[in-house]
Amino acid sequence: MTKQFTKLTSYQWAAISPFFPLKRKLDLCEVMNTILWLLRTGCQWRNLLDEYPHWQAAYYYFDCWETNGTLERINRELNQLDRKQEEREAYPSVFCVDSQSVKLAPMICEYRGLDPHKKVNGRKRQLLVDAGGRLWAVPVHAANEGDGPASLALVSDVLWYGDRVEKVFGDGAYGGVFAKELTKWGIDFERASRPESAQGFVPVAKRWVVERTIA
């Protein structure tokens, strides 16, 4: 886990720079550093430090890259590169799925709800990771929506990665409509949960990787 924010190295920027139109007055490497700093610190756009580009300029590029899928493509390509460096196939054959409820600031009303189990008023993220914990898809919705129905948005992401996908691991919340939808496409769902008699945190085999990603 990265404890402190560090700017992109020249090697890291070289790996992702082909995804961006480089002929811009504003240094796009600095824009990406701004986005990563916001992600790491949780700061508001309007409270950016003076060393970073003006917040409106940085947000403009962030909004464009999020809308046109640039950030998603970068994540997907980096995942493939990392898997190949470990002498694995570019796309995974096994996924793990789990959710995380996140609190929202009081003034944010869009996609907001109360998760009664975790007592969190905000949003919920459905995380799809491979066996190495790499993040491949993250749909976001109100926290009051159930994991099973809300995770149906992940089915298209699972299918996008082709015929190599054989199995998806998840807890009991995904054993209903989500598991049935996967079965229609020939993909197995396996429930992996801690024993009912267990107390406190217990690492669950084949699902601990998604917990590590959440952490």
Q: Which candidate, 115, 169, 188, 121, places its Cα nearest to that of 147?
A: 115
The percentage of the chain sitting over the pLDDT mark of 70, rounded to a whole number, equals 93
Of the two residues 167 and 211, the one the predictor is more confident about is 167
Quick: pLDDT tens for 133-163.
999 999 999 999 988 889 999 999 999 887 8
Q: Which residue has the tokens 């008699």?
A: 197
Dihedral class, residue 206 (left if φ above 0, else alpha if ψ from -120 to 50, else beta): left
Q: How far apart are CA 58 and CA 35, in angstroms?
A: 8
What's the CATH class of domain 91-214?
Answer: alpha beta
Residue 189 near residue 183, CB atoms below 8 Å: yes
Q: Which residue has the tokens 């824009």?
A: 31
Residue 139 near residue 150, CB atoms below 8 Å: yes
Residue 38 near residue 66, CB atoms below 8 Å: no
Structure tokens given for 153 = 């948005």
pTM for the full predicted model: 0.84
pLDDT in the model for residue 204 = 60
Portions of the chain given CATH number 3.30.420.10: 91-214
- The mean pLDDT of 67-88, rounded to a whole number, is 94
Q: How far apart are CA 196 and CA 69, in angstroms?
A: 41
Decide: helix, strand or coil at residue 200. Answer: coil
- The mean pLDDT of 72-84, rounded to a whole number, is 94
